[in-house]
């Protein structure tokens, strides 16, 4: 894995599952020392469940049940490892691929389907779960996260409900956005308690990272005065340790930080993408050997925290989560119009209440369908007569070939047997067609 100029990489678990804490800094080593086997098993369980959910969601999109899906395949270690570092007071701002983070915040991942199925704008109780909704605008949510962190620093108490830090998830492509540059300026200027967790998965859709990044992204904050840390993004323990240390620094008033998790997007950018057109299969095979779930499973087996029986039980939980996701997706009905009035203001608003009452009074019956207005009749008076233009004796008009199988409103602009081009609106009514 490339390390870049003078940028060390934190790696705790090797691909074969062997653990080595030598590359950890003192603050990170303290969190690694306190990591129990039960906590690591919980991380492994969350990674298995979210991968099963993600594969089921991809299958649902291929069947036409979802309009689009953004897979997190291969990035479970970065997401679950960092999410396990959050405290109840912290607040997470995901982008659109962080299904593992959403699940770790206590949200049913099936709630994501409403947005990708097109029946809702998507959302949940953000204050109850301390997790913002998805943002499809690349880099746009980073500004929101920094602003929220500035508000937390001004209004919160260290031990109160608003005394935590903020973590915002973004990709390597988003780091090239102007919104992110502005966010770094404000975060550094106000020493906002925010951690920028960058999932460098190697590709900004079809653009490789090395095409637009000349130095490791962990060094991007140096010009702003923000420290950075680069970790192996397929190592859940390394992501947990680095994120825990960065969040602790933010909570204690030492300012923002950047964590760059070098991972790989094993699936297409979205289900509308075809990665075989821009990256070789050999690259995918090389990164498949660094699978984050297999790596943590090997380590748990080495320390005796996981056996075949426990693994089968966790796999069964993943299958159950996939079945639940499938049933939840198929049970989604059409959107309710009442949500247009109930989700506008936090408290009751007089004008919105009046609009809701007007809608209730004129609500169409259940099952009623709107009928389109009848089409106006053709204006035959504007159609030229068939023999309005005489032709020379001995000649014969050669109209273009007739194109069958098209609707009348397309055929009407062409030539008829009379040799004259008709008006668009009245061509099909002539007898000479």
**Residues belonging to the active site:** 265, 269, 278
What is the greatest pairwise CA distance in the chain?
103
Rounded Cα distance between 201 and 214, Å, is: 16
Q: Strands 228-232 and 257-262, how do they pair?
A: parallel
Q: Taking Cα atoms as reference points, which of 293, 305, 289 lies closest to residue 236?
A: 293
Cα 423 to chain centroid distance, Å, stands at: 49
CA atoms 235, 32, 80, 42: torsion sign? positive
Q: Find the angle CA(112)-CA(115)-CA(118) to the nearest 5 degrees.
A: 140
Contact 201, 74 (CB under 8 A): yes
Q: What is the 3-state secondary structure (H, E, C) of 194-258?
A: EEEEEEECCEECCEEHHHCCCCCHHHHHHHHCCCEEEEECCCHHHHHHHHHHHHHHHHCCCCCEE
Three-state DSSP class for 302?
helix
Q: Find the angle CA(102)-CA(103)-CA(107) to the nearest 5 degrees.
A: 80
Q: Taking Cα atoms as reference points, which of 194, 217, 233, 245 lies closest to residue 80?
A: 233
Q: Taking Cα atoms as reference points, which of 257, 263, 260, 274 lies closest to residue 230?
A: 260
Query: Long-range contact list for 55-59, CB < 8 A, 24+ apart?
Result: 55/322, 56/322, 56/323, 56/325, 56/326, 57/112, 57/113, 57/116, 57/325, 57/329, 58/267, 58/271
Whose tokens are 């770790």? That residue is 104
Rounded Cα distance between 41 and 311, Å, is: 10
Whose tokens are 């990708």? That residue is 116
CA atoms 62, 65, 67, 70: torsion sign? negative
């Amino acid at each position: 894995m490339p390390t870049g100029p003078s940028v060390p990489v934190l790696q705790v678990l090797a691909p074969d599952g062997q653990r080595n804490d030598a590359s950890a800094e003192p603050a990170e080593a303290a969190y690694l020392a306190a990591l129990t086997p039960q906590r690591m098993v919980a991380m492994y369980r969350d990674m298995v469940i979210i991968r099963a959910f993600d594969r089921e969601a991809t299958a649902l999109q291929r069947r036409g049940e979802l309009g689009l899906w953004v897979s997190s395949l291969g990035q479970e270690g970065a997401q679950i490892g960092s999410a396990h570092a959050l405290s109840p007071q912290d607040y997470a701002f995901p982008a659109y691929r962080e299904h593992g983070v959403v699940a770790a915040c206590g949200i049913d991942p099936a709630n994501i389907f409403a947005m990708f199925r097109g029946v809702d704008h998507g959302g949940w109780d953000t204050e109850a779960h301390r997790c913002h909704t998805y943002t499809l605008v690349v880099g746009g949510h980073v500004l929101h996260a920094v602003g929220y962190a500035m508000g937390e620093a001004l209004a919160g108490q260290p031990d109160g409900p608003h005394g935590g830090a903020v973590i915002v998830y973004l990709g390597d492509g988003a780091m090239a956005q102007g919104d992110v540059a502005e966010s770094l300026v404000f975060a550094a200027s106000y020493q906002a308690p925010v951690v920028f967790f960058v999932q460098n998965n190697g590709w900004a859709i079809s653009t490789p990272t090395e095409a637009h990044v000349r130095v490791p992204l962990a060094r991007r904050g140096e010009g702003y005065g923000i420290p950075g840390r680069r970790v192996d993004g397929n190592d859940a323990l390394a992501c947990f340790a680095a994120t825990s240390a960065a969040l602790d620094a933010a909570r204690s008033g030492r300012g923002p930080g950047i964590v760059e998790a070098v991972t790989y997007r094993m699936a297409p950018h979205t289900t509308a993408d075809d990665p075989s057109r821009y990256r070789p299969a050999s690259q995918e095979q090389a990164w498949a050997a660094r699978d984050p779930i297999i790596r943590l499973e090997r380590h748990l087996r080495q320390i005796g925290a996981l056996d075949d029986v426990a693994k089968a039980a966790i796999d069964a939980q993943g299958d159950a989560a996939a079945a639940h996701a499938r049933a939840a997706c198929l049970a989604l009905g059409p959107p309710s119009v009442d949500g247009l009035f109930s989700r506008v203001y936090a408290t009751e608003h007089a004008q919105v209440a009046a609009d809701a009452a007007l809608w209730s009074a004129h609500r169409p019956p259940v099952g009623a369908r709107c009928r389109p207005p009848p089409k106006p009749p053709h204006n035959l008076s504007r159609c030229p007569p068939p023999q309005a233009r005489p032709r020379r004796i001995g000649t014969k008009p050669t109209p273009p070939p007739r194109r069958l199988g098209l609707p009348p409103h397309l055929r009407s602009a062409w030539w008829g047997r009379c040799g004259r081009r008709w008006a668009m609106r009245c061509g099909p009514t002539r007898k000479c067609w």
